[in-house]
Structure 1
Amino acid sequence: MARLNDTTVKSLRANPGQDRKDVWFDEKGLGMRVSKTGRKSWVFVYHFSGRARRITFGTYPTIGVAEIRSLHATALQNLERNIDPGDPIQLQRAEIRSAPTIDDLAKEYLLRHAARKKSGKEDERMLNHDVLPFWRTLKAADISRRDVNALLDRIIERGAPIAANRVLALIRKMFNFGIQRSIITENPCANVVQPALSIQRDRILSLDEIRTFWLNIEGAAMSAPVISALKLELVTAQRKGEIVSAEWSEVDFETRIWTIPASKAKNGIAHRVYLTDLALELLAKLKALSGNSRYWLPSRIGDKPLTVRSISHALRINLESIGISNVTPHDLRRTAASMISSMGTPRLVVSKILNHVDSSVTAVYDRHGYDQEKKIALTSWANKLLEICNLIPRVSYEPARKEQKIAVKYSVNLATNTPVQWA
């Protein structure tokens, strides 16, 4: 048998006086038929269903050595799967059966792409809730623009237009990922219009609503950690996702600084938050409730924090009992930012408190941390919040011994306005 390489193939000639010559290579069943005119055709001989069969792959050099190796390997794989590599109908059926489904694409997307992003868990939730129940077994390459619009219509009909926008954004990303990975060749979301007009929310609580929220949430049917988490969003003006995922190792109780690492910050930039007396009292409650967990808000299942959805859901179903309406956790952050700004805090300092990205040229040169300015603004806001809620002035924070950094003492419980001591 001849060795399969370009040197061997180029040297092959038909014997004088013969119309053709068959040469077999050191690859199972693979050979070449050389005509007296010099035409060289790749052939593959095999047995299927007890009969000897032969197929021609094409000619050399149109099909080179590397390509014929690949074609030969595919043919052998088809034989192992009991598919006749010379039967185009069988091959077509096998290709259809093996084509990746939406379930396959979704798993690959979540594993290779979404897992590295902060939105990974939410992407997985939306796929499981809004996409896979309807598309799971469909071939990814068969999804059409009509299918996309039908999926979005179903979400809108249940009264969730903004969710439809988010699902569209998600599956558009997923199909683009599929194209990059050569799983599919086209994105069916191309030219699909966003189904609902996105209106930027601008809800800010009034002074009466702030007071009602702060005092009445203590009697709501939600867990104490969730209550503290919602209050912390109003006190610190930080994002609920950053509060929910916070760990005790991120807090320095001596300097009263909570450092949100870049990996957890929405904008990917590490952020320092000054902790006022009011924030520290809420953290003391959380520490007493969190036990040995590394998280401020540990989940009951495994070593992980509560989810953002659980916080939002708890507030949503308790709004009536609290005595306010149409309020989300993010509205608490927006309210805090608005109140801090209304007290005369410069817009730049408010932006620093919120950890918003400043893409201006000046920002490149301005490396000032604004810790002192943020401290003054957040302390003023905490005192204002107490005033709004008709609570007594804040008693100074008194750190405990170094070996018990988390233990802090207070002479007032701000929820009930009664004496208390945290040990």
Structure 2
Amino acid sequence: MARQAKPLTDTAIKALKPKADRYRVSDTSGLLLEVMPSGSKIWRYRYQLHGVRQPSLTIGPYPEISLAAARKQRDEWAALVARGESPKRAVQAAKAEKLNTVAAFAAEWLAEQLPGKSASYQKTMQRIMDKDVLPWLGGMPLADVKPADVLELCDRIKSRGSPKMALLSRNVLKRMYDYAIARQMVESNPAAALVARFIASEESRTRVLSASEIGQVLRAVYTSDIRRPLKLALHLLAITMVRKTELTAARWDEIDMDAGIWDIPAERMKKDQPHRVYLSRQAKELLQELHSLSGRSVYLFPSSRGTEDRPISHSTLNQAVRALSLDVQHFVLHDFRRTASTHLHEMGHPSDAIEKTLAHKIVGIKGVYNRAQYAEQRQTILQAWADFVQAQIDGAKVVPLFRSA
């Protein structure tokens, strides 16, 4: 005959002392008290369903949940088991019902997302929710929100002259619904159905990332789940100032690591003129790691599909950026070049040398007579730019950049 557990008492519970390892003490009918090394005590319920042992369910901490309350919860779950029903599913359903509205779920989501973030980030997120999202959508059931509801919210924000805030609100909702989908609270994301550029946009030819946005983009790259070579590619694209296709089709025989030079042949340049990139210290570090990952290929970024040695598709980096769900308005990869030019001009670097670094043709009569290549100035410019970008990434001290992922 199986040995019956002796029912617990409050006196016996209070006498339980922590040990080096956590241990469990049984009450009756599957109720357990787990004593942690820290001294805290947690009620749990252990049961079988259809003859199969199930993971124990947590009831909560003692003494916040008394012995009597723990037994009451055990009895309720035991009744479900007796009917062949899963108490775990009942717990999930109760939680879903509790978090049924946008407002209730948003509160839990923010409690999960905000700790550890900067004060300005927390303030912005809370302001978006309190000023716009919750007054308009807060009372709606989470699963009932449709793209039209999100669009109407964005239109209301735009009507007061705040298109950027409208887009940011859409992005916040998109991230919140991604979180809800992952936790099986809803099946679709109403914000994801709205294309960002239809909410608010800047002209592509005028978009320049601020210093903080540079850091935001690249920190998002390094903390994402995209493949490590693609992370290195996006960082290299930012600091070498080349065009995307010039990087994605790059070959190892174009690069002289000892001399710190990358010579791009004319046939891969937009203007059919060869272009030399002077490698910064950071670029060389990225290339060294990249070579350890893809050095067997003739390409810096070989395709992972098929057996043929060929570079990644020209759209691969665009797809990687779209996967980041950035809260940076209307960002495209070509913005890196315009951003570099703008900040370098503001730093006081000579315009002609910057244009040469970008492989731009110097126009007008000045271009006809100016045959200078500005080698030393271009070296200085690319190192200064790589240092500037690194400073923006390091500003938040979020992630080590050169550790393998």
Q: TM-score range by the shorter chain?
A: 0.3 to 0.5
| TM-score of the two chains, using structure 2 as the length reference | 0.47
Larger radius of gyration: 1
With the length of structure 1 as denominator, give the TM-score of the two structures.
0.45
Q: Relative contact order (C-alpha < 8 Å, sep 6+): which is higher? A: 2
